[in-house]
Amino acid sequence: MRIAFIAHDKKKDDIVDFVKRYKNVFKNHEIFATGTTGKLISDATGIKIHRFLSGPMGGDQQIGARVAQGDMDIVIFLRDPLTAQPHEPDISALLRICDVHCVPLATNLGTAEIFVKALRNYSEG
């Protein structure tokens, strides 16, 4: 599966810890990420990651384009709901495009954990 990772600044440690915890699951899939998030995950796990631009520089939109083209299966976007984001319109557009194209989107660790369980079943099946 093609999986995209995005995380706001205050959630970057959480996403790195999450991917490290489930490295054995994610290493069997094609991984994408926005720039900084991808670098942090790759450095911590050694997983090969296709990195787009950073989110505020258009990385969210690049992932959204892949969703619209049918080239992304899952998006895990750990958002910081308590901090205003200068690129909020880009974030809203990504959330909308995932909804329009029925691409599963996790915006918190609870939902991301459920996705990992589904990926394990997918890999075993």
Catalytic residue among 9, 60, 71, 99: 60
Question: In whole angstroms, what is the distance from residue 96 CA to residue 19 CA?
Answer: 25
Has 54 been labeled as part of a binding site? yes
Question: In whole angstroms, what is the distance from residue 96 CA to residue 93 CA?
Answer: 5
For residue 101, give both structure tokens: 């194209």
Question: Which of 42, 37, 44, 39 is closest to 12 using CA atoms?
Answer: 37
Has 101 been labeled as part of a binding site? no
Has 87 been labeled as part of a binding site? yes
For residue 82, give both structure tokens: 């308590």
Has 36 been labeled as part of a binding site? yes
Distance of CA 1 to the CA centre of its chain: 13
- 3-state helix, strand, coil split of the chain in percent (to 5) is 55, 15, 30
Has 125 been labeled as part of a binding site? no
* Catalytic residue check, 13: no
Binding residues for substrate: 8, 12, 34-37, 54-55, 87
Binding residues: 8, 12, 34-37, 54-55, 87
Catalytic residues: 60
